[in-house]
Amino acid sequence: MADRHPEPDSPELRARWGQFDWTGDNAAKAKEIVARYPAGRQRSAVMPLLDLAQRQVGAEENTQGWLPIPVIEFVARYLDMPVIRVLEVATFYTMYNIAPIGRFHVQVCGTTPCMLRGSDDILAACKAKGLKKGHTTPDGLFSLTEVECMGNCASAPMVQINDDNYEDLTADSITHILDELAAGRQPKTGTQWPGRHTVEPVGAPTSLIAMVSENHDYRGEW
């Protein structure tokens, strides 16, 4: 696992984020989230609220969003829980960014199925675009992380960029996607394979063929 450390607590960080508070919309959302849990169990809302806070930071900074220490403390105060318990959650899940992040967080899956289907090429293509593992590009656009399985093995290799998945990638298609994002356009999400909609078999089905049109009991044939 990549070394993760919270951004050090500094006077500048305090000055920038010490006054953090929900925006109007998010205040309502936070209230709604806390209301999902029984009274007195408001601590259960810590994960959605951390996500909400990360998104609000992202919106303010025009990045994917991250969790500065003062914001973590804000969430702890909001939920009336010890801040160390919130920090435990924030450091446990890699989806919470605890250090500053770029506009687009490119998370390349490098687990076995993706690797067999060419994730090394994807990483090389990212590298060619100037992305470096664990770093943000100087223009602040892209941060690159290699992650473990994201559950898209049927359409490997894949990357997740902020909230969207891009699947069935090749070196060319990832380069195209990064270019489009850098240009401010939204590339097609999901599978990049022409003619494929989602994770259905490419071309004709090769297994369970008898199941295509009707239910078929294979058990007798085993």
Partner 1 sequence: MPKVKVYGIELDVPAGATVLQACELAGKEIPRFCYHERLSIAGNCRMCLVEVKPGPPKPQASCALPAAEGQEIRTDSEMVKKAREGVMEFLLINHPLDCPICDQGGECDLQDQSVAYGRGGSRYHEEKRAVTQKTMGPLIKTVMTRCIHCTRCVRFSEEVAGVDEIGALYRGEGMQIATYLEQAAKHELSANVIDLCPVGALTSRPYAFEARPWELKKTLSIDVSDAVGANIRLDSRGREVLRILPRVNDDVNEEWLADRARFLVDGLTRRRLDKPWLRVDGKLQAATWAQALAGVGKVNPGSSIAVIAGDLVDAETMFAAKALAGALGSSLLEGRQTGLAYDTSNLAAMAFNSTLAGIEDADAILIYGSHVRDEAPLLNPRLRKAVKKGAKVYLIGPWWEPTYAATHLGDDAGAINTLPDDVAAVFANAARPAIVIGGGALAKGGLGAGLAFAERFNLVREGWNGFNVLHFAAARMAGLMLGYAQKGGIADIVAAQPKLVISLGADEVDWSQFAGSLIVHIGHHGDKAAHAADVILPGAAFSEKDGTYVNTEGRVQYAEKAVFAPGEAREDWSILRALADAFGVSVGFDSFDELRAAMIAAVPALGVEGLAHYGALPAAPEGAHAGGVIGYAVKDRYLTNAIGRASPTLQRCSAELIHGEIHAEAAE
Binding site for partner 1 (CB under 8 A): 1, 3-4, 9, 69, 82-85, 87-88, 91-92
- Hey, what's the torsion of the CAs at 192, 94, 10, 77, to 10 degrees? 110
DSSP 8-state secondary structure symbol assigned to residue 168: S
Strand, helix or coil at 145? strand
179 three-class SS: helix
- Min. distance of Cβ 100 from partner 1 in angstroms? 18
Of 80 and 221, the one with the shorter C-beta distance to partner 1 is: 80
Q: How far is the CB of 146 from partner 1 (least distance, A)?
A: 15
Task: Output the smallest distance, CB 38 to partner 1, in A.
Answer: 18
Minimum Å gap between C-beta 97 and partner 1 is 14
Query: Based on CB atoms, which residue is closest to partner 1, 39 or 183?
Result: 39
Would you give the DSSP letter of residue 183?
A: T
Residues 6+ apart with CB under 8 A from 175: 125, 128, 129
Cα–chain center distance at 82: 26
151: nearest Cα among 160, 143, 142, 161: 160
Residue 85 vs 132, nearer CB to partner 1: 85
Shortest distance, position 21 Cβ to partner 1, whole Å? 21
**Residue placing its CB nearer to partner 1 in the complex, 149 or 171:** 149
* Nearer to partner 1 among residue 15 and residue 124 (C-beta): 15
Q: How far is the CB of 176 from partner 1 (least distance, A)?
A: 35
Contact 140, 63 (CB under 8 A): yes
Say if residues 117 and 109 touch (Cβ distance below 8 Å).
no
CB-wise, 10 or 189, nearer to partner 1? 10
Q: Is 77 left (phi over 0), alpha (psi -120 to 50) or beta?
A: alpha
